[in-house]
Amino acid sequence: MMLLFMAGETGMIFVDTGAWIALTDTSDQYHSEAIRIYAELKKQKEQFLTTDYVIDECVTRLRYDAGHRIAVRFLDLLTHSEHTGILQVIHIDKALFQKAISIFRQYDSSNLSLTDCVSFVVCSMYEIHKAFAFDQHFTMMGISLCI
């Protein structure tokens, strides 16, 4: 299993749990598509941003689906990528959390997770209009998918 990151100068893409999992886990149903999308984003020199909530979801899923070793490798690669400036990780504070809760309360019938709502707040704050995601919830919030 391999995890890929690339920095760039032209834009910022929010990376959601499904994309990280698909890039990391070769058995994921979206693995081939994720690799294709990543290659295209790399050509376009896009920058990537994610949140600590998304990372938590990824580590938890990888831990139970792919094993502890893969989850730790994912964390190590994320940490390295953040420290070298390839990836920006937003750490959620109380104000952002409260905004996410407000969104969560509004969408009773949409099956949004709290992590989805945190992601939407971050996209709004950073004026991000594209997400590397396989989650259609982004489109209902006006964020285009890179698929």
pLDDT at 108: 81
Is the predicted pLDDT of residue 10 greater than 70, yes or no?
Answer: no
Range 6-33 average pLDDT: 83
Residue 1 has pLDDT above 80, yes or no: no
101-127 pLDDT, tens digit per residue, is 999 999 887 789 999 999 999 999 999
pTM (global) more than 0.85:
yes
90-98 own/partner pairs: CB under 8 Å, 24+ apart: 90/49, 90/50, 90/51, 90/52, 90/122, 90/126, 91/51, 91/52, 92/51, 92/52, 92/53, 92/118, 96/121, 96/122, 96/125
Query: Which pLDDT score, from 0 to 100, does residue 93 have?
Result: 97
pLDDT above 70 as % of the chain: 93
Residue 98, pLDDT score: 98
Give the tens place of pLDDT for each residue, 68-102.
Answer: 999 998 999 889 878 877 799 999 999 999 999 99
Record: fold of 12-145 = Rossmann fold (3.40.50)
Helix 52-65 × helix 114-125 angle, to 10°? 140
- 92: Cα separation from own chain's centroid: 14
Mean pLDDT of the 114-143 span:
94
Q: Which of 3-7, 51-55, 125-129 has the lowest mean pLDDT?
A: 3-7
